[in-house]
Chain A
Amino acid sequence: MTQSTLITDEMRSYIGRESEPVTVEVDKTACRMFARAVGYTDPVFYDEEEAKRRGYRSIPAPPGFLGHPVYNPARPQAGSYLPPFRTTVTRNLNGGTDIEYFDDICAGDVLTMTSKVVDLQEREGRLGKMLIIVSEMTYRRGDQVVAKMRGTLIRY
């Protein structure tokens, strides 16, 4: 019989619970900075006129970019994708990313993102005891779901 030591009942109670919505803005400068960081040379990510010629409403969000949360300094946790888990493992590694797009996302879009934990697992790995948290984020523009992201976070 395996004994779970990292995952508490309180943590399990978060599974499936949808977070409060977080506002996520997609703006031109952020799209350009993201595109430059990835090394794009395609002008569609830098020049709004070129983007419009190619059928986009404005500069498209480059693949992998879903905007930046609007931070509220009075509620610093509001930009976090995760519930406030209290664990003995505090170091983070990204385990995986899965993004599905249902529509173009472009500069000027103001999205709302809700997140929920969909799975919690515990494993013993080369970094010791690991907690694996799988979350699902849903991005909406108005009522329309424009993207879904599934992220795997490893705490060790």
Chain B
Amino acid sequence: MIEQKVYFEDVQEGQEIPTLTVLCDSQRLVMWAAGSGDFYQIHYDKDFALGNGLPERIVHGALKHALLGRMLHEWIAPGGRIKRVACQYRGMDLVDKNVICKGVVTKKYQQDGQNIVELDVWTESEDGQKTTPGTAVVVLPSRGQ
């Protein structure tokens, strides 16, 4: 059984949430292709990627979106729920590098009986470039519940 690690009362604006680092090697990208159904060759065929003017195979944007979702899930599970994850793919992440997911709480409030927490979320490349800036909304359980 997974223990609840975070409750609404524990969260403060400005607080960083636990980082998630994932190596996006070719195996991960192929697993993503199968899992997502996105078989665009720029993600697993190097010749095809170079032929499209790219420097290498690139990490799927939607995989980075899903990794941000995993970071949030692992922070709020089992009692929390993700309401929204939004991000923009500003920079390319190349195959065989770590994608580092981060988040900071920007706002917390109660609305319609729900404990709502808003965050800035983003991915960074190994050299510290913010390649995927975004925002998220989650609902957290209360200690009193």
Chain A residues close to B by CB (< 8 Å): 30, 33-40, 42, 44, 54, 62-65, 68, 91-101, 104, 127, 150, 152
**A33, A38, A40, A68 interface centre (most CB from chain B within 10 Å):** A38
A33-B34, A39-B70, A91-B53 given; 18 more Cβ-contact pairs under 8 Å: A34-B36, A36-B31, A37-B31, A37-B32, A37-B36, A38-B66, A42-B74, A44-B78, A63-B70, A64-B65, A93-B89, A94-B60, A94-B89, A96-B87, A97-B85, A98-B85, A101-B81, A101-B83
Complexed CA–CA distance, A1 and B84 (Å): 39
Task: Establish whether residues A96 and B66, one from each chain, have CB atoms under 8 Å apart when the complex forms.
Answer: no
Task: Establish whether residues A99 and B88, one from each chain, have CB atoms under 8 Å apart when the complex forms.
Answer: no
Say whether, besides A42-B2, A42-B73, A97-B65, A64 and B31 are in contact (CB < 8 Å). Answer: no
**B34, B35, B36, B40 interface centre (most CB from chain A within 10 Å):** B35
Task: Establish whether residues B82 and A98, one from each chain, have CB atoms under 8 Å apart when the complex forms.
Answer: no
Task: Establish whether residues A64 and B86, one from each chain, have CB atoms under 8 Å apart when the complex forms.
Answer: no
Chain B residues close to A by CB (< 8 Å): 2, 22, 28, 31-32, 34-37, 40, 52-53, 60-63, 65-67, 69-70, 72-74, 77-78, 81-89
Task: Establish whether residues B62 and A100, one from each chain, have CB atoms under 8 Å apart when the complex forms.
Answer: no
Say whether, besides A38-B66, A39-B70, A64-B65, A95 and B88 are in contact (CB < 8 Å). Answer: yes
Complexed CA–CA distance, A33 and B37 (Å): 10
Chain B residues, Cβ within 8 Å of A93: 61, 89
**A33, A65, A96, A100 interface centre (most CB from chain B within 10 Å):** A96
Q: Can you report 22 residue pairs joining A to B where beta carbons are below 8 Å apart? A: A33-B31, A34-B66, A36-B31, A36-B35, A38-B66, A38-B67, A42-B73, A44-B78, A63-B73, A65-B36, A91-B52, A91-B53, A94-B61, A94-B62, A94-B89, A97-B62, A97-B65, A98-B86, A99-B86, A100-B84, A101-B83, A150-B86
Please give me the residue from chain B that is nearest to A98 by CB atom.
B86
Say whether, besides A63-B72, A68-B37, A38 and B86 are in contact (CB < 8 Å). Answer: no
Task: Establish whether residues B62 and A64, one from each chain, have CB atoms under 8 Å apart when the complex forms.
Answer: yes
Task: Establish whether residues B22 and A39, one from each chain, have CB atoms under 8 Å apart when the complex forms.
Answer: yes
Please give me the residue from chain A that is nearest to B38 by CB atom.
A94
Contact of A38 among B63, B82, B87, B88 (CB under 8 A): B63
Task: Establish whether residues B69 and A64, one from each chain, have CB atoms under 8 Å apart when the complex forms.
Answer: yes
Chain B residues, Cβ within 8 Å of A104: 81
